Amino acid sequence: MKQDFRLIVIGSGISGLFVALEAQKLGPVLVLTKGSIEDCNTRWAQGGIAAAVGPLDSPEQHLADTIAAGAGLVDAEAARILCSEAPARIRDLVDYGVAFDSLGGEVALGREAAHSRARVLHAGGDRTGAAIETTLASAASGPGITILDHTIATRLLGERGAVTGVEAIDLASGTSISFEAPAVVIATGGAGRLYSHTTNPDVATGDGIALAFDAGAEVADLEFYQFHPTAYRSNSAPPFLISEAVRGEGAVLRNAAGEAFMGRYHELGDLAPRDVVARAIVAEMKATASENVFLDCTVIRGVDLAARFPAIFAFCRGQGIDIGREPIPVAPAAHYLMGGVRTDTFGRTTVPGLFAVGEAACTGVHGANRLASNSLMETVVFGKRMVECLNEAPRGAEPDPGAIECDDAGGASPGHWALQTLMWDCAGIERSGEGIERALAAANGWAHSPAEPTREWHERREMARLARLMLQAALRRTESRGAHYRSDFPERDDERWLRKQVFRRGH
């Protein structure tokens, strides 16, 4: 398309739309999205967005909690920026029209695991993501932003080591098109669809991370994948997120025998860090030979469940469960990738002209285990900073001197399900060297197949690329830390592993 764009954004979740809205003052912005504008992960976020705005809270306390959750690998400077700039970004979202819930005239603050204070703002109860996405999409409908939906980015174009455009396929016609701009942002979100059980929608296939790696950008922390402890589990419906905020209001996890078990695993009980809760649930499922545990909301007092959690209440009712009277069957499901395209604190990747924001990026704020509801905030804090540096001379982030060069010679996965079950079985909540090696051998053996102008083919290629990188990262890290649990190396090993793993493509 021969139009002069100031910026191309790939992805239309909160990261993509927020960046587009902030950048339109600099010139025309193009947003490419492979589905429709509302097909994004943001829409499904329930708990909310974390910011130290309460009278008993402070950015320092938020920072301390973020660092503690991250199991030794949080980038302290990036996390300091996240926590100190968060309150101002809440004001930006309010200016765009997001109506956060209030209680008694004050902003309502929820509690989630490993937060020492109630600091999670929400909108529409547990429909926070949908409320933000709808508001930003409506704000982005003006003339400064062109949104092309059903258009999948297939390659980043470059000149002299910098990214200068995007090659894409118009999925309606199957034709290839290319776009040019001095800056391109990867805002494609996460990769939950690499796993057979996930809280993420179909679009979350990690494409942008694989495209950036292919274009020479460094990627980091790919062994750290977060499994949400409580997704609805039954044979009759796909997993559905049951927000941690439900436990924040007092719900209790029980095993198949009805025992409230979390006290046996962690002093914070049901509000222990996510990785601890997910593994505890798996242990209880094994011990009781069941497919799930139960989340008991009947013990919650003084909360109107239908008003506070309208999405969860309606979903469970649709499954024949009245959550005020009956427990919800739950089990862990793939939820959030802590790693991604490595960026500095202005969203710059190591390739000039290429930026990354949100779940597709790795700013380092999550370390080995993300603190709940820091993800939506990360997108707006670093999205804002990214746009602020767009007018500077283009340059990349400093390369990591310890980056490991790796080649990816494998082909596309034979199908989504084959890859998803392989990743769930071999790179899930508990992994072992033997299982990861088996998965890598299978993934390396996938044959190259001729390119097809379809979303399915391109997703299979990018999912396979990302899976191979995640498996390599998981194999190399011979310890357990945060969300990465190796049954053959169950201890944390600070002497050898208090460091990130950064990968870049070999030449």
Beta-carbon contacts of 360 under 8 Å, excluding residues fewer than 6 positions away, are 11, 15, 186, 187, 188, 189, 190, 206, 208, 209, 212, 340, 341
E strand or H helix that includes residue 296 = strand 293-296
Give the span between the Cα atoms of 474 and 484, in whole angstroms: 7
Name the segment binding ligand SIN (CB under 6 A); options: 239-247, 296-304, 443-451, 482-490: 239-247
Tell me: does residue 46 bind ligand SIN (CB under 6 A). Answer: yes
Give the Cα-Cα-Cα angle 437, 75, 277 (nearest 5 degrees): 60
Find, among 325, 497, 493, 468, the residue nearest to 410 by Cα.
Answer: 468
Q: How far is the CB of 142 from ligand SIN (least distance, A)?
A: 30
Residue the block writes with tokens 């830390």: 481
Name the segment binding ligand SIN (CB under 6 A); options: 280-288, 353-361, 369-377, 479-487: 369-377
Nearer to ligand SIN, 66 or 375 (CB): 375
Tell me: does residue 47 bind ligand SIN (CB under 6 A). Answer: yes
Among 78, 137, 217, 245, binds ligand SIN (CB under 6 A): 245
- The distance in angstroms from the start CA to the end CA of the chain is 31
Q: How far is the CB of 47 from ligand SIN (least distance, A)?
A: 3
Is 274 catalytic? The answer is yes
From the candidates 6, 127, 274, 455, give the one annotated as an active-site residue. 274
Q: How far is the CB of 395 from ligand SIN (least distance, A)?
A: 32
Tell me: does residue 24 bind ligand SIN (CB under 6 A). Answer: no
Q: How far is the CB of 467 from ligand SIN (least distance, A)?
A: 22
Q: How far is the CB of 374 from ligand SIN (least distance, A)?
A: 7
427 touches 439 (CB < 8 A): yes
Q: Is 202 exposed, middle or buried (0-12, 13-18, 19+ CB in 10 A)?
A: middle
8-state DSSP, 452: -
Binding residue count for ligand SIN, defined by CB under 6 A? 10
Among 243, 349, 350, 363, binds ligand SIN (CB under 6 A): 243
Among 255, 345, 369, 373, binds ligand SIN (CB under 6 A): 373
Name the segment binding ligand SIN (CB under 6 A); options: 28-36, 99-107, 243-251, 277-285: 243-251
424 touches 197 (CB < 8 A): yes
Q: Would you tell me which residues interact with ligand SIN (CB under 6 A)?
A: 46-47, 243-245, 335-336, 372-373, 375
Please list the active-site residues: 274
